[in-house]
Structure 1
Amino acid sequence: MVVPIRLAMRTRAGELTCALFEAGVGDAEIASVIFNPISIFMNRLGRPAGLNAISGLRKRLLAPQVPHASPPASRSLREACRGNVRALDRNRIVTDSLKLLVEVKEARMQKSLVAEFLGTFWLVFGGCGSAVLAAAYPELGIGFVGVAFAFGLTVLTMAYAVGGISGGHFNPAVSLGLTVAGRFPAARLVPYVVAQVVGAIAAAALLYLIASGKAGFELGGFAANGYGDHSPGGYSLLSALLIEVLLTMFFLIIILGSTSSRVPAGFAPLAIGLGLTLIHLVSIPVTNTSVNPARSTGQALFVGGWALQQLWLFWIAPLAGGALGGLVWKFLDDAD
């Protein structure tokens, strides 16, 4: 797909410029609407051969304007356009160029969804895998502390690895909280959640295949989340609801605060990973720690029965907490 996009950029950009000049569109508008996004995308592709030509045209388009007169470079370009624009199919040019921009946007979205799938997969496989395979290993079990650090490390590592591509949500509650806070477009919320849930289910499936390869394997709780009789410490539904809402809310505040412009760049994954570690240290005895509906869904599908019956709580509570965290941060951010 990259090669056709590059060729389209080389052949269509000048034609579209001519058509828009003839239509009376201003230089600055052409540059900001068309050439800025194309140049940004070409940079991400590795500066193909057409970038220098379009960058030069962009500079000429943005050159200071003399009142009531066009600069020589811009005027000569307009004259050249007027001489050739009649031979162009304006509708085709505009349509093709708009299709190009849509393809660019779709390509970015696809990469973001793949990144969210991989990040959520790693979170579930690393975090729940540590609980299923290593937490109670004879004599060398990592226990609750090890599991808590495993979850924190999965988020920390993947936030650095793919956070620059998708934002590093890996959690429907995080995506919702960011949307409420105005940091994430609502149109992307559902696709992100789908990618996250699919990643969690894929990780749980692979973890099941690995764990079941041990002689005498018993599924047990399979790191699923629960309350009442299925809470590690026997905590009630109300206790589970309160702690999941509260901890997810603070998780969003940590995420939004550490990624704001007020703090040094590059350290957010550390704060977020350590924040998730602390959350697990507090709440594993209560619910096995969810704060992530995708993580809960993947494990519940393989446990079935009680895990599916109680799954509703581990969607409602984290989503409510995420939304509250977004609202709290929005208030703090506006107040400052």
Structure 2
Amino acid sequence: MAKDAGEGGEFAAKDYADPPPAALVDAAELGRWSLYRAAIAEFVATLLFLYVTVATVIGYKHQSDPNLSPAAACAGVGILGIAWAFGGMIFILVYCTAGISGGHINPAVTFGLLLARKVSLVRALLYMVAQCLGAVCGVGLVKGFQKAFFVRYGGGANELAAGYSKGTGLAAEIIGTFVLVYTVFSATDPKRSARDSHVPVLAPLPIGFAVFMVHLATIPITGTGINPARSFGAAVIYNQDKAWDDQWIFWAGPFIGAAIAAAYHQYVLRAGAVKALSSFRSFNA
């Protein structure tokens, strides 16, 4: 009977183990091929992400250009299609690279995981450099293939839309990135994986959907950044004043949103603050 009870409670009390916190500075990582292989994976994934998504944006703007055809306003994939391009590519690329680099493809995600001690500072910095370089190369490919359209339709660069204040744009980026990074933490939480092991949930799927939903909400405001590498790569290749003037929004907003998401998940949902307080009280008892 005890055995049956144990089997019945298998999913309710399944053992799990949190990985130990990553070292803040792990110089030994610099001598491991796995680090550079992961950075290359982040570079290639971000390149592909920017190539497909920015090409989608440019293609949509060209197809819906009313100067080309009276019926063009109804042509193209629309904002819904653009959101699907971003969310779908994140789903695909996280699925492909998660086993190599963790599938960050976004400096804000890397920053949030650094704050939660999931990656070391060395790995985080190398990832961010690889992501930014990959973004520049990806947008560069789009310009190389569609040079005339690229310049005419804004290069896929993130800019604050007319009628919105910088504060509104910053808030949109903070909230949007919070949704994304919160989803990343929840989808990859080892406790959740153990508890819900009988429910096959593919982690890249909710992450891709989070990107999709945030794009639907914020494309009209900022064009949706929530990824500093995406905004930086487009700004470098497009290289116009407006894109650079608003660039700080697409770095400050995502990093603030990622920090809030990391703190919320680690200290509230995972009760990190309560555990730390209990340890402090026990030490001083």
Shared fold, TM over 0.5: yes
Moved over 4 A (4+): 102-105
Distance 2:143 2:97 in 1: 25
CA contact (8 A) 1:252 1:325 kept: yes
1:170 aligns with one of 71, 92, 105: 105
- Residue identity matched to 1:278: M
**Kindly tell me: are residues 301 and 168 of structure 1, through their superposed partners in 2, closer, same or farther at Cα, counting changes over 3 Å?**
same
CA contact (8 A) 1:176 1:189 kept: yes
Higher Rg of the two aligned structures? 1
1:335 equivalent in structure 2: 271
1:224 equivalent in structure 2: 157
Matched residue count: 229
1:184-223 alignment, distance < 5 Å? 184-212=119-147, 218-223=151-156
Q: RMSD across aligned C-alpha pairs, in angstroms? A: 2.0
Distance 1:266 1:107 in 2: 31
CA deviation map 1:109-130 (0-9, x unaligned) = 1110011001111221122221
CA deviation map 1:187-223 (0-9, x unaligned) = 2111110000000000010011111166xx6433222
CA deviation map 1:86-132 (0-9, x unaligned) = xxxxxxxxxxxxxxxx6995210111001100111122112222101
1:323 aligns with 2:259: yes
Distance 1:208 1:239 in 2: 30
1:254 aligns with one of 183, 198, 209: 183
CA contact (8 A) 2:29 2:122 kept: no
194-203 or 204-213: bigger deviation: 204-213
1:104-119 alignment, distance < 5 Å? 106-119=32-45
Percent of pairs identical after alignment?
Answer: 31
CA contact (8 A) 2:41 2:101 kept: yes
How far the C-alpha of 1:294 sits from its partner, in A, is: 0.4
Distance 1:103 1:183 in 2: 14
CA contact (8 A) 1:127 1:147 kept: yes
2:49 equivalent in structure 1: 123
TM-score (norm 1): 0.64
CA deviation map 1:157-192 (0-9, x unaligned) = 011111110000011000000111222222211111
Distance 2:270 2:29 in 1: 35
2:25 equivalent in structure 1: none
1:285-324 alignment, distance < 5 Å? 285-304=220-239, 305-324=241-260
**Kindly tell me: are residues 187 and 103 of structure 1, through their superposed partners in 2, closer, same or farther at Cα, counting changes over 3 Å?**
closer
- Secondary structure (helix, strand or coil) at the match of 1:242 reads helix
Distance 1:103 1:318 in 2: 27
113-122 or 258-267: bigger deviation: 258-267
**Kindly tell me: are residues 218 and 188 of structure 1, through their superposed partners in 2, closer, same or farther at Cα, counting changes over 3 Å?**
closer
- Residue identity matched to 1:257: S
- Residue identity matched to 1:308: W
Distance 1:272 1:135 in 2: 26
CA contact (8 A) 2:51 2:142 kept: yes
CA deviation map 1:297-332 (0-9, x unaligned) = 111112222111221111111111111111111113
1:237 aligns with one of 154, 163, 166: 166
**Kindly tell me: are residues 325 and 104 of structure 1, through their superposed partners in 2, closer, same or farther at Cα, counting changes over 3 Å?**
closer
1:6 equivalent in structure 2: none
How far the C-alpha of 1:333 sits from its partner, in A, is: 4.1
**Kindly tell me: are residues 104 and 331 of structure 1, through their superposed partners in 2, closer, same or farther at Cα, counting changes over 3 Å?**
closer
**Kindly tell me: are residues 210 and 234 of structure 1, through their superposed partners in 2, closer, same or farther at Cα, counting changes over 3 Å?**
farther
- Which sections of structure 1, spanning at least 5 residues, go unmatched? 1-101
Distance 2:127 2:217 in 1: 28
CA deviation map 1:213-272 (0-9, x unaligned) = 66xx64332221112xxx1x5321111010101110121110000111213465110000
CA contact (8 A) 2:154 2:238 kept: yes
How far the C-alpha of 1:134 sits from its partner, in A, is: 3.1
**Kindly tell me: are residues 165 and 266 of structure 1, through their superposed partners in 2, closer, same or farther at Cα, counting changes over 3 Å?**
farther
